[in-house]
Amino acid sequence: MLTGRQRPMTEVAFLFAEIGTADGHQGIGFGYSKRAGGPAQFAHAAEVAPELIGEDPSDIGRLWTKLVWAGASVGRSGAATQAIAAVDVALWDLKAKRAGLPLAKLLGAHRDSVRCYDTSGGFLHEPVEQILENAGRNLAAGIGGIKIKVGHPEPGVDLVRVGKVREALGDTPLMVDANQQWDRPTARRVCRALDEFGLVWIEEPLDAYDCAGHARLAATLDTAVATGEMLTSVAEHRELIRHGAADVLQPDAPRIGGITQFLRLAALAEQEHLTLAPHFAMEIHLHLAAAYPHEPWVEHFDWLHPLFEERLEIRDGRMHLSDRPGLGITLTDQARHWTVQRADIRRTL
């Protein structure tokens, strides 16, 4: 299976936080880790969570800072803030539920639906025929755009595959994702060739931390450059913005520390008039994208369906907000059955 420098993905570990108040309200949040890191997130969350006991759950910004400082020696990015993210998301879910509003409405929605595209049907190991079958099924289900992977060891293979998909899909919005597989010379050559296909964006053509390289590509290509999903703090995204390294910013709320941090980053992105296309976790990102002033995209993955009772409504190329309060999700019995580790943190009387 072609996965570049990353090993094949056999599991995704989820960290769930359920927060209850003395007056009976409850909030739920989650974070995740692909391939490795889940146990580290759980351990850190269990260690700092007692700092919340007795606090006012409405003071989310202050509580985020308190949790960060409770684990200050391990820094403000990576597993530490990803652990806090699950708690932060739960606090925002709780706040919106107490207000009786969907989270997007609590934040101040600019729209009731968001453009959406699918990623889960276009991996490198799949033949073009399978990709086209997957794309047809997703478009028929109401999804608006299709993203496929590139980064084959032989770049010519990428160009043939993209050409066949573009020809078959016509003017359907099409994106490609290289998952950091190219060096700078290869990225220049392949991205220039990809310009002819009228793509919405070319994603992660270079190492996620190569701000200067991404900026040079963005300045020379007709096609938008997208990146940001692998970064784990607002500070790292700020460097992308400062360099002009992305036309499309792809933050992941669970990776950068939760909704509190995502909102900080969204304010920076808005000032630069950047398109926002949050990575993964559509159950969270639909709300955050709906509250972003400039028309964004949301990434569709059906991987999380077994975890939640509800389904997001998708039609006419867009993902639609429901009227359910908070995030609008509840855990399934299956999700609880799959749980391998728990920590119950309560006030000691």
User: pLDDT digit string (tens) for 329-339?
Assistant: 999 999 999 99
Q: What is the pLDDT of residue 298?
A: 98
Whole-angstrom distance, CA of residue 214 vs CA of residue 220: 10
What are the Cα distances from residue 54, in Å, to 57, 75, 347?
9, 25, 7
Residue 203 assigned ligand-binding role: yes
Whole-angstrom distance, CA of residue 73 vs CA of residue 67: 12
Q: How far is CA 55 from the centre of its chain?
A: 29
Catalytic residue (one of 279, 285, 287, 300): 279
Tell me the two tokens of residue 203: 């994603």
Domains of the chain: 12-101+332-338 (3.30.390.10), 105-320 (3.20.20.120)
Cβ neighbours for 279, distance < 8 A, ≥ 6 positions apart: 228, 229, 250, 251, 252, 255, 285, 299
Whole-angstrom distance, CA of residue 4 vs CA of residue 158: 14
pLDDT tens per residue across all 349 residues of the chain: 555 566 666 788 999 999 999 999 999 999 998 878 788 999 999 999 999 999 999 999 999 999 999 988 888 888 889 999 999 999 999 999 999 999 999 999 999 999 999 998 889 989 999 999 999 999 999 999 999 999 999 999 999 999 999 999 999 999 999 999 999 999 999 999 999 999 999 999 999 999 999 999 999 999 999 999 999 999 999 999 999 999 999 999 999 999 999 999 999 999 999 999 999 999 999 999 999 999 999 999 888 899 999 999 999 999 999 999 999 999 999 999 999 999 999 865 4
Question: If we measure between CA atoms, which residue out of 317, 321, 271 comes closest to residue 294?
Answer: 271
Whole-angstrom distance, CA of residue 18 vs CA of residue 27: 6
Whole-angstrom distance, CA of residue 190 vs CA of residue 137: 29
Q: SS3 string of 144-170?
A: CEEEEECCCCCHHHHHHHHHHHHHHHC
Handedness of CA 58, 64, 65, 67 (dihedral sign): positive
Catalytic residue (one of 97, 147, 149, 214): 149
Question: Is there a catalytic annotation at residue 279?
Answer: yes
Tell me the two tokens of residue 220: 């020379």
Cβ neighbours for 70, distance < 8 A, ≥ 6 positions apart: 47, 48, 51
Q: What is the pLDDT of residue 11?
A: 80
Question: Is there a catalytic annotation at residue 105?
Answer: no
Eight-state DSSP code of residue 53: T
pLDDT digits (tens, 9 = 90+) for 220-242: 999 999 999 999 999 999 999 99
pLDDT digits (tens, 9 = 90+) for 66-118: 999 998 888 888 888 999 999 999 999 999 999 999 999 999 999 999 999 99
